[in-house]
Amino acid sequence: MTLNDPRLWFSYKGRINRQPYFFASAILGASAKGLEAAGDANPALAIAILALFLGLIYMLMAVAVKRAHDVGKGGWFAALLFVPLLNLWPGLTFTFQKGTEGANEYGEDPLAAPAPVPAAT
């Protein structure tokens, strides 16, 4: 899954490896900081910024759940990202642990080579 694939940002199904997780998390984190700065600069936009921030949280959870699936854990493991101190466990797991090799209960291995397409005769 690439960064321009809407399923990365909005779907809770499937698996992603470390690279898209890292870049998507960096983009979402930078976006959250930008919203924070915009809110500090103009408090009148608070409701709009809150709505956008909730959208960022939804996207962060979609990315984190897919990464949890890649390491063989359920989506609830990603919820630990919101628990102080416990958030280190999924944060380090998602960033450094290699995903399970081959297919698991959540889908195909995102690093597996695609099956060859038979040649037409």
pTM for the model stands at 0.86
115: amino acid identity, one letter: A
High-pLDDT (> 90) share of the chain, %: 73
What are the sequence ranges of the domains in the chain? 13-96
Task: For residue 1, name the pLDDT band (cuts at 50, 70, 90).
Answer: confident
- Find the helix or strand (DSSP H, E) in which 44 lies: none
* 62-77 pLDDT tens trace: 999 999 999 999 999 9
